Structure 1
Amino acid sequence: MKTTAAAPTAPLLLERNGAIATLRFNRPDALNAIDVPMANAFLAAVQTVAADPGVRAVVLCGNGKGFMAGGDLTTLRANPVQGAIDILTPLNAALPLLAQMNAPVIAQVHGAAAGAGLSLLLMADYVIAAESARFNLAYINLGTSCDVGASWALPRIVGLRKALEIALLGEAFAADDALRLGIVNRVVPAADLETATAALAQRLAAGPTVAYGAMKRLMRASMDRALPEQLAAEKDAFVHCAGTEDFRAGVEAFHQRQSPSFAGR
């Protein structure tokens, strides 16, 4: 059953369909540019899904013609410094919650993903894009450095040299280029984007949610740890997962030569 936890005119819509939560950016007339109300609504929605063990997959997407065109320049033009602080503070509180939660986070991208829009999708666990999607880090074209985790995620995904090229030149690139660089995982025809995303979200929502969370945290921390530290973290995570209901179900299904049925616990 699908439910929406906000008014249709809210800057962000939190929708729930079973174990799948969708955070839908909802400023279509502004190409979903992030203003202060949207940033605060995004944090509130992320806090809600992060605290709900029934959420087993999260989808980020945008209404209208594009995923997100970045920060709201009207806000930033009126009050550049305070506007930036007021937008980035809630976003910076939300992103670690997305990274640390057990539920996998999918970005569904169509149209423009620029500036903070590109930064946000870089922080997702899986990105599926329409063939017509266009990407641009774009910050340099406005005379500013990047935000929303781009300087952390982009070099890890594409390597330092390519990350600097994308950041310093500020040039747009197509979905096929994003796929080749590893910025997106899959490219589909625009008409198939929602169906393909829904199928992926259903698959992940039926998986071993605790193990997903452990895998996410191990992978994200791996580049900041020496091998002995990472091995110890892997051991701790495996031992924790070994005590879950899902691990017992997975082992039993293997012995019975059946497909496992995971409860997310």
Structure 2
Amino acid sequence: MTSLDGFSKVQLEDGVLRVTIATAENGTSLDGEGLVQGARALEAVGDRIGSVLLVGEGPNFCAGGNVRAFASAPVRSECVAEVAGVFHDFVRALDAVTVPVIAGVHGWAAGAGMSLVCLTDVAIGGPGTKLRPAYPSIGYTPDGGMSWTLPRIVGDARAREILITDTVLSGDEAVRLGILSRLVGDDVVQDEALRLARTLAAGPTSSYSGIKTLVRDSRSRTLAEQLDAEAESIAAAADSPVGREGVDAFIEKRRADFASVK
């Protein structure tokens, strides 16, 4: 896996853009440089990627913001606003991605870490994975979109309870609620996330993009409007290189080679 020019926290290999969002330094808190590099890379690489993989380096996926830095700042509001601005630039870039976004969630995903988990398409954890909003514990309110994504995953009432009571969610509970996709062994969380990211990167990218667009736009549509959008999308897919390869492979009883038609 090789780093992109000038980017130490972002690597691209086999169509997978790997972004390190936290390191062991400062207790696996959110890594500002990783977020800046990640946002820039997402804008720069464009069609060169087939999936995005979010990882943390150290004992946790991401333990949240650097609270010690908040405490030592001359003007705390300015410090937190700056951190939120950098974080939200990355969130916007991630939300705009049309390829699958995967996270390997080992250890804690707290605060900003949990916000990132809620943004992914597939989040893989382990029996030892734990999630926690963490914001109320320091008297703060959510950032990173958690107040928007979490209600859409678990419902408004459950989201309010989780956020207000600062609930610690086990891996099993997070899967049951739909925040994590599935659990694997703690020692293979990142390996499995990378395997999936590589598999999806070699898959029907335009199909994934269409799925993500349909799901995203369904938030503001009626069922009748969504049916029209689905009909238009599937018809376009049928005559696309990817759609042709998929159907032809099915008829010819062979494995589709989507990478050859991207």
Tell me the equivalent position of 1:59. Answer: 53
TM-score of the two chains, using structure 1 as the length reference:
0.90
Match status 1:185 vs 2:178? no
Query: Of the candidates 96, 107, 110, which is equivalent to residue 106 of structure 2?
Result: 110
Measured in 1, the distance between the counterparts of 2:154 and 2:193 equals 23
Q: 1:101-250, aligned counterparts within 5 Å?
A: 101-250=97-246
More displaced stretch, 226-235 vs 171-180: 226-235
What is the aligned partner in structure 1 of residue 254 from structure 2?
258
Q: Distance in 2 between matches of 1:186 and 1:82?
A: 38
Q: Deviations over 1:89-138 (max 9, x none)?
A: 23323323323322200010111100010001100000001221111011
Consecutive unaligned residues of structure 1, counting only runs of 5 or more, are: none
CA contact (8 A) 1:36 1:86 kept: no
Report deviation, 1:216.
0.9
The one-letter code of the counterpart of 2:4 is A
Q: Displacement, 1:171?
A: 2.4
Cα pair distance change 1:124/1:138, threshold 3 Å: same
Residues of 1 paired with 2:248 and 2:162: CA distance? 48
How far, CA to CA, are the matches of 1:233 and 1:241 in structure 2?
A: 12
Q: RMSD of aligned C-alpha atoms?
A: 2.0
Amino-acid identity (%)? 32
Instruction: Name whichever of 151-160 and 36-45 sits farther off.
Output: 36-45
Structure 2 residue identity aligned to 1:196: E
1:132 alignment partner, SS class: coil
Deviations 1:148-195 (A, max 9, x none): 111111111111111111101012121111111111011111122233
| Alpha-carbon distance in structure 2 between the residues aligned to 1:186 and 1:41 | 28
* 1:93/1:239 CA distance change after superposition, 3 Å: farther
Query: Residue 73 and residue 46 in structure 1: after superposition, are their counterparts in 2 closer, same or farther (change >3 A)?
Result: farther
Aligned residues: 259
Q: Which amino acid aligns with 2:109?
A: A
Counterpart-to-counterpart distance in 2, 1:241 and 1:163: 36
Provide, for residues 176-230 of structure 1, a one-character-per-residue CA deviation record: whole Å limited to 9, x for no partner: 1111111101111112223322221222112110110110121122122222332
Cα separation, partners in 2 of 1:80 and 1:221, compared to 1, 3 Å: farther
TM-score, normalised with respect to structure 2? 0.91
CA contact (8 A) 1:59 1:106 kept: yes
CA drift of 1:26 comes to 4.4
Going from structure 1 to structure 2, the CA distance change for 1:163 and 1:34 (only over 3 Å counts) comes to same
Are 2:20 and 2:34, in contact at CA under 8 Å, matched by a contact in 1?
Answer: no
